[in-house]
Amino acid sequence: MAGRADANRRRIMDVALAELLRDPDASMDQIARAAGVVRRTVYGHFPSREALIGALVDDAAEAVGAAHAAAVRGVTDPAEALARSILGVWEIADRYRLLISLAQRSVTMEGILKRLEPVRRAGAALLRRGLKEGRFTSPLPADALMYVREQVIFGLMQAVNDGVLAPEEAGRSAAVTTLTASGLPADEAAELVARLP
């Protein structure tokens, strides 16, 4: 009965991925039931909850690292290397998309996004209009660009928290970056933001 054990182990990991997405605090019992297995069996494969999640993350991180390395090998132009890296990482990260999103999805985050819904809609409208008028250029639809805008802001907040970015001008930098991410030429974006009060 060697094959069944391996298959169960794999299935448990797959299901755990999905289950932890729905609820980052999903209990071992929830995961076990979802995998069509008894809690005790999960402990037969992973000695602890932490070990299970560790195995999940290890899988993902290893794959991402390998994809990046393969993508940039021998490429000299940094822009092209960056693009290749993203493409490469994306492809395999796609399988772990749910795991990544797990991180963003704390109960708290749910609440925050829900309550910021009006602001998000307003921002999306701005982007939509900008795209329609040709002021912005992007392969992304406005809704997706809104995700980018939000994440750029959150990301730079995090950068400030971590001491990587000085707080004084971080706001302006965030503005410039969001604009350029939306396809506005960098110099134009910088100039525009610099002109603001």
Partner DNA sequence: TGTAAGTTGCACAGCAGTGTGTAATTCCGA
Partner DNA sequence: TCGGAATTACACACTGCTGTGCAACTTACA
Query: What letter represents residue 99's amino acid?
Result: L
In this structure, are residues 178 and 186 in contact, taking their beta carbons and an 8 Å threshold? Answer: no
Among 13, 18, 55, 190, the residue binding its own copies under the rule CB under 8 A is 190
Q: Check residue 183 for interaction with its own copies (CB under 8 A).
A: yes
By beta-carbon proximity to its own copies, the closer residue of 36 and 54 is 54
Residues 6+ apart with CB under 8 A from 121: none
Of 32 and 178, the one with the shorter C-beta distance to its own copies is 178
Q: Which residue's CB is nearer to its own copies, number 5 or number 151?
A: 151
- Is residue 160 packed enough to be buried (19+ CB in 10 Å), middle (13-18) or exposed (0-12)? middle
Closest distance of CB 40 from DNA, Å: 4
Q: Of 34 and 126, which CB lies nearer to its own copies in the complex structure?
A: 126
Q: Does 1 bind its own copies (CB under 8 A)?
A: no
Shortest distance in whole angstroms from residue 40 CB to its own copies: 24
Interface with its own copies, residue 148, by CB under 8 A: yes
Report the site for its own copies in 45-84 (rule: CB under 8 A).
Answer: 53-54, 57-58, 60-61, 64-65, 68, 72, 77-84
Chain residues binding DNA by CB under 7 A are 1-5, 8, 27-30, 36-41, 43-45, 47-50
CB atoms within 10 A of CB 130: 19
Place of tokens 């393969």: 70
Cβ neighbours of residue 64 closer than 8 Å, sequence gap 6 or more: 89, 92, 93, 96
- Any idea what DSSP says for residue 95? G
What is the DSSP-derived secondary structure letter of residue 111?
A: H
Question: What count of residues does the chain have?
Answer: 197
Q: Which does 167 bind (CB under 5 to 8 A by kind): DNA, its own copies, none?
A: its own copies
